[in-house]
Amino acid sequence: MTEFAVTNASTGEVEQTFDSLPAQQIPEIIERAHLAVGPWRDTPIAQRAQALAKVGDLFEQRAEELAGIIGREMGKLKSEGLQEVQLVASIFRWYAEHGPDVLEPTELQPQGAQKTIVEHEPLGVLLGIMPWNFPYYQLARFAAPNLLIGNTILMKQAAICPLSAGTFAEILHEAGIPEDAYINLYLDTEDVPAVLEDFRVRGVSLTGSERAGASVAQNAGKNLKKSVLELGGNDPFVVLDTSDLDALVRTAVGLRTSVQGQVCTSPKRIIVVDELYEEFVAKAQEAVEAIRVGAWDDPDADMGPLSSETARDEVVQRIHDAVRNGATLRTGGEKLERPGWFMSPALLTDVDPDSDLGCNELFGPAVIVYRAEDEEDALRLANHTDYGLQASVWTEDLERGERFARRMQAGMVHVNEHLVTQAGLPFGGIGRSGYGRELAEWGLKEFTNEKLVRVSAQSF
């Protein structure tokens, strides 16, 4: 049985609990979403877009409240929570403004007919399974495009974020999206297969762990359901050259410790060419040790608590295991003896690229720096991964950067930026990072029936 509760990450206190959905009610709820497909699909797209634009307005109006909810639930600093709320508003507005044009029928060459087009029609009921690290953004990334298309949504959010999940649904309904077109589910994990087995559910999108992704993909495949998976990454951040190493180090450390390092696209492997390595590490240690750790609403804090006690303890344990296996812990990486799920940010070097931390995602505030002999060695290290979500290269020579970026193996590659997500940019990875794309026009066509329509004169 999944426990849905708001446990304040800054204090460790349980503030509110929620009952999970009884399994016997699942068919009835799926039926509600199924019956809502027709009316919602037949609602003029301009009206659906208007509802999405209203969602954006409501998120901005309730920004302080919304940031406070996720601050308590999973420890996100207030400033970062406000940024997330603004990102969500921009996503709903982007689809409201641009989505209808993207969904216009695509005209093809007639190819022997009078007319040949492809229509982008909704599939029907979809299931979303989302994580806790961006409680609103992850929901918006899936919900906004699919609601505009005319799909209806059953949404399972992480168990530690029940209040934000319910508030998200409340805002959508207030904006004019029918209650049965978007249903928030406090669904037990063990009941997910039953939802996917139902013929009325046509697809599933999951953002989360590889284990969860593999399980959902297996169930989706067995039941012939379309799936999209975003499963994290071990993203490289390659430093080739700079004339301002201080600023670059501050940027790298700040990006890695943002949201306590609990970001799929966080730069988890910082790869620095040999001539800059020693100075980079020294400055990185100063930057890491200067980070102020505090509660989500502490205005002086640079980093908050981790999302849960289990999450914090796992990160600390894996750092200690890495040290026992030969890594060098320059600073931090310890549990802080205070209420809540706090730890000191860490800086590690000498991590074996084939070790646990070298190969697998570490979801926590650990800056890991690797030495590369030269540019080619940096590329080799960057591509030495089974993941492929986001990657970046940093250089003042933009042509050099673009050449390097084109050789990096990832779903999203950036020159002189990292941890970038915008409504108009596709998001997704390759390899162990999953498959499929969200956001922008790509997010509009993952769960559509791309229906060919040909009109020919009657001729015998």
Entry pTM: 0.97
Q: How many CA atoms lie within 13 A of 161 on its CB side?
A: 30
Is residue 324 helix, strand or coil?
helix
Give helix 274-289 / helix 245-257 axis angle, nearest 10°. 60
Q: Does 235-387 match 4-231+424-454 at the fold level?
A: no
Stretch 393-412: mean pLDDT, rounded?
Answer: 98
Domain chopping of the chain, boundaries: 4-231+424-454, 235-387
Q: Yes or no: is domain 235-387 CATH 3.90.550.10?
A: no
- For residues 134 and 84, give the distance between their C-alpha atoms in angstroms, rounded to a whole number: 7
Confidence of residue 250 (pLDDT cuts 50, 70, 90): very high
Question: Is it the case that residue 200 has pLDDT exceeding 90?
Answer: yes
Which of 84, 230, 361, 446 is catalytic? The answer is 230
Q: Give residue-wise pLDDT tens across range 274-330.
A: 999 999 999 999 999 999 999 999 999 999 999 999 999 999 999 999 999 999 999
- For residues 349 and 357, give the distance between their C-alpha atoms in angstroms, rounded to a whole number: 11
Q: Is 230 one of the catalytic residues?
A: yes
Q: For domain 4-231+424-454, which CATH number applies: 2.60.290.11, 1.20.140.10, 3.40.50.300, 3.40.605.10?
A: 3.40.605.10
Per-residue pLDDT, 6: 98
Is residue 251 helix, strand or coil?
helix
Is residue 457 helix, strand or coil?
coil
Could you tell me where the beta strands, DSSP code E, fall in 108-174? 115-122, 125-129, 152-156
Q: Give residue-wise pLDDT tens across range 67-108.
A: 999 999 999 999 999 999 999 999 999 999 999 999 999 999
- For residues 347 and 95, give the distance between their C-alpha atoms in angstroms, rounded to a whole number: 40
Question: Is it the case that residue 2 has pLDDT exceeding 90?
Answer: no
Confidence of residue 130 (pLDDT cuts 50, 70, 90): very high
